[in-house]
Every structure is written in structure tokens, then in C-alpha cells.
Amino acid sequence: MRNFKPVKQPRISDVIFQQLKNAILANEFKAGDKLSSERDLSEQFQVSRVAVREAIRALENAGFVAIRQGLNGGAYVTDLTFEHLANACLDLFLSNKISIHELHHVRILIEPEVARLATLHTNPEWNERLLMAYKGEHPPGASLSEDIASATRVHFILAEICGNRFLEALVNSLLKLSRKIIEEIRPNPPSSIHPPGLHGPIVDAVLAGDADAAAEAMKTHAKIFYDNLVRVEKDYREHGSASYRLKDEARLQGGERL
């Protein structure tokens, strides 16, 4: 006997969202191209502006377009990145669905492999960048934010070198998560968390082209960092999540888009 599926009216905005998304995925728009205006699209689709608007907002939330206001404003197609994945992960962490322990177990699993792969893919140009990043860590007079950024740059570069964009995305998410936790929860310099020179053995091994040593050095580093991070988590638990939320709201009031 046939198994009919229940019929359910899809939302108009979802249908439009699909069509636009597929057009973008099929490369009918290059990154930087502008979609037609809401009013134009509402004529083309023969629906109200509201429906089009909701579809475009969904595209924005999914990271496909960036919306600008004003003359020459509109929905500009973006290069699909992994940014919003990291944000989604952050939400999961904040809702206590992921612990720092779980997060770090994954990191200890992944980052050594990244270091290993990176070692196999290096070339003089990359080595140069890696060394520059390492030497530029903890610049004097930097703000907390800049300091953390400089201290994690080595990780990002290795992830870029490793040649696997999925791994790169994972590392990005993991680091961003760690970083946000530190930055938001503990607003004093992270020197105790990320002491200078911690990346030395990793950089040395990569530059020397020794994949196993690089992986091992990264593993050691990740474990040390983990121990430090556990202390941060303790603080986090004591303070609760209120301070984080307040900052989140303040940033939005300041005009930052989601």
C-alpha cells in the first residue's frame, strides 16, 4: 500500500529562500554580486515584499549574503565561510551542551593531526609567515584582544597550511570558542593561560619538517593549555554566565550585527 506523505503548505519565504540559495550555490552569483532589491524581487516572485524580505534575512542568517542599507544597499553575496558555524557552536557551549573538557578532548585529537599535515605541506613562504607570527606574539602594549589574537595566530596559520578546509574550519571553531570564553569571562591579560614561548617547540618541529615531532609538540601544548583553561572554567562557573550575556547585549547596542 502506498505511503502518502502528509501535505503541508510550505512558507512562501522558505520557497524563495531555497530558490535564491540554490542560485547562489550553483554559482549564478559571484561573491560580491548584488541580489536585486526587495521590491524588484517581490515583483519577480509575484509575492509581497515581506515574503522576500524574510527569505533574504534567512540567507543572511545562514551566511550567504550580507545586507547593506542605503543607496547601493542590498543583499551582497558573500564567500560562504565557517564563521557562523563557530557561532552556532558557541551557543551550544553556553547552553551547557558542551563542556570545556569535551571541547578540549576534540582539540587534542585534531590539532596534532593539523600540525602533522602542515609539516608535510610547508614551503618557504609559509615558513616565513609562521615564524613571523611566532615572533610577533605578545606584542608590548597590545590590548587584551590583540594579545590573544597574536597568541593564537600560529594555530590559525597551521590550520591554513594543513590543506584540509574542514580541519581548518574545526580548528577555527575550537579556537574561537576557547578565545571567546577567555575574553568574555576573564577580562584580564591571559599571560597565565598562554605564557610566551609556548609555541616554540611546535614551530621548531614544523620548520624542521619533522611531522611526528610537530604532532607531539602540539599535543603537549594542547594539554598544557587545557590545564590552564580548566582554571578559567572554574572562574566561569563561579561567576555564572551573566557577565557574558551583558557584554553580548552591550555589543549589539553598539551596533554590531549578529
Binding site for a second copy (CB under 8 A): 5-11, 14-15, 17-19, 21-22, 24-26, 50, 54, 57-58, 61-64, 80, 82, 84-85, 88-89, 91-92, 94-95, 97-98, 102-103, 105-106, 109-110, 113, 164-167, 169-170, 241-242, 245, 248-249, 252-258
- Member of 3, 27, 69, 123 binding DNA (CB under 7 A): 69
Task: Say what the alpha-carbon torsion angle 118, 228, 88, 252 is, to the nearest 10 degrees.
Answer: -120
Q: Given the rule CB under 7 A, which of 49-57, 126-134, 220-228, 239-247 is the region that contacts DNA?
A: 49-57
As given in the structure block, the three cell numbers for residue 117 are 599535515
Cβ-based nearer residue to DNA, 53 or 179: 53
| 134: partner contacted, choices DNA, a second copy, none (Cβ within 5-8 A by kind) | none
Alpha helix segments (H runs only) across the chain: 12-25, 38-45, 49-61, 83-94, 100-121, 124-135, 144-161, 165-185, 200-208, 211-239, 242-253
Q: Are 59 and 20 in contact (CB under 8 A)?
A: yes
Q: Which residues contact 155 (CB under 8 A, 6 or more apart)?
A: 111, 171, 175
| 19: partner contacted, choices DNA, a second copy, none (Cβ within 5-8 A by kind) | a second copy
Give CA angle at 104 (85, 121), nearest 5°: 70
Q: What are phi and psi of 77, to 5 degrees?
A: -65, 130
Cβ-based nearer residue to a second copy, 33 or 249: 249
Residue 74 in 3-state DSSP? strand
Q: Given the rule CB under 7 A, which of 50-58, 102-110, 172-180, 209-217 is the region that contacts DNA?
A: 50-58
- Give me the least distance between CB of 14 and a second copy, in Å please: 6
Q: Are 80 and 63 in contact (CB under 8 A)?
A: yes
Residue 11 as a binder of DNA (CB under 7 A): the answer is: yes
- Member of 23, 25, 31, 50 binding DNA (CB under 7 A): 50
- Member of 5, 26, 27, 72 binding DNA (CB under 7 A): 72
Is residue 130 packed enough to be buried (19+ CB in 10 Å), middle (13-18) or exposed (0-12)? buried
Residue 66 as a binder of DNA (CB under 7 A): the answer is: no
Residue 68 as a binder of DNA (CB under 7 A): the answer is: yes
Number of other residues whose CB lies within 10 A of the CB of residue 30: 9
- Between CA 101 and CA 177 the distance in angstroms is 13
| 73: partner contacted, choices DNA, a second copy, none (Cβ within 5-8 A by kind) | DNA
Q: Given the rule CB under 7 A, which of 43-51, 92-100, 182-190, 204-212 is the region that contacts DNA?
A: 43-51
Instruction: Give me the residues that bind DNA (CB under 7 A), please.
Output: 8-9, 11-13, 35, 37-40, 47-51, 53-54, 56-57, 67-75
